[in-house]
Copies of this chain bind each other. A is one copy, B any other.
Amino acid sequence: MEKKTLLTHCTDAPGLISKITNICYKHQLNIIHNNEFVDNTSGHFFMRTELEGYFNDKTFLADLDQALPEGAKRKLIGSNRKRVVILVTKEAHCLGDILMKNYDGSLDVDIAAVVGNYDTLQSLTEKFDIPYHHVSHEGLNREEHEKKMLEVIDQYQADYLVLAKYMRVLTPSFVEKYHHKIINIHHSFLPSFAGAKPYHQAHERGVKLIGATCHYVTEDLDAGPIIDQDVIRISHQDLPEDMVRLGRDVEKNVLARGLRWHLQDRILVQGNKTVVFN
């Protein structure tokens, strides 16, 4: 017996749940959990089905393809661990939390490597017996640096990249290569304070809550589909450096939560938004 997750995404039509679940039943696949959503503004149907049984992927998917409307997208995902490469700069808290969650089994992922544009986090990474690559950007333009980064990253054949406070902007060609496969944590409650130094912007504006946003990276900086967000309360006493410190916990929590949902195939992207079946 295996467990797999079926993600379906198509134009809405009558009887879709019935058709899909019939096929599951016919194939003697037990539905452990099912989520469904119709976006009435766009007329799209989304479904996530956790299945258990003996799978014949080929005939199962063929049956589905016959039943689903033109242009439907469906994906049957095995329960094997995903493989990620983590990109970092200097800040330790998001990387540290992922390493620790991986260490104690809270996060079911295979961390292939950590790649940083500084060597600051090499020692931390290696404590957990994970390879670290220092790819300095000094003296290189963005394209040159990314080329060197990709040489390192590509060798690991990662399913996904995690930007754990990687503080450099990616080029469109990098982003396209890992389309909807790069997860970033931005240290503000987007769309507030996009861009650089969000805590300084927040202090300047005098907001009473600060936040963090986990999102897929797209060409448009800090504007990709949002996976999760959270906030914490601050006060007039908090300087930007206090926010930096206080923000660490919310950043790492939001990144870990978004990453877990992503790794569990709970997220479907449509346009610039996410459907999160959590």
A residues neighboring B (CB under 8 Å): 14-15, 17-19, 21-22, 24-25, 28, 30-34, 36-41, 91-93, 96-97, 100-101, 103-104, 106, 124, 127-128, 189-193, 205-209, 211, 225-231, 235-237, 239, 245, 248-249, 253, 256, 272-276
Q: Give Cα A190–Cα B276 distance, bound, in whole angstroms.
A: 25
A239: chain B residues within 8 A (beta carbon): 40-41
The chain B residue with its CB closest to the CB of A225 is B206
Q: Which of B38, B96, B128, B208 contacts A32 (CB 8 A)?
A: B38
A and B contact pairs by CB, cutoff 8 A, 8 listed: A18-B18, A33-B38, A92-B100, A92-B104, A97-B97, A189-B209, A206-B226, A231-B231
Q: How many copies does the complex hold?
A: 4
Question: Do the beta carbons of B208 and A191 come within 8 Å of each other?
Answer: no
Q: Which of B18, B91, B228 contacts A21 (CB 8 A)?
A: B18
Question: Do the beta carbons of B14 and A34 come within 8 Å of each other?
Answer: no
Q: Give Cα A28–Cα B21 distance, bound, in whole angstroms.
A: 17
Question: Do the beta carbons of B106 and A245 come within 8 Å of each other?
Answer: yes
Question: Do the beta carbons of A209 and B231 come within 8 Å of each other?
Answer: yes
Q: Which of B22, B96, B206, B256 contacts A100 (CB 8 A)?
A: B96
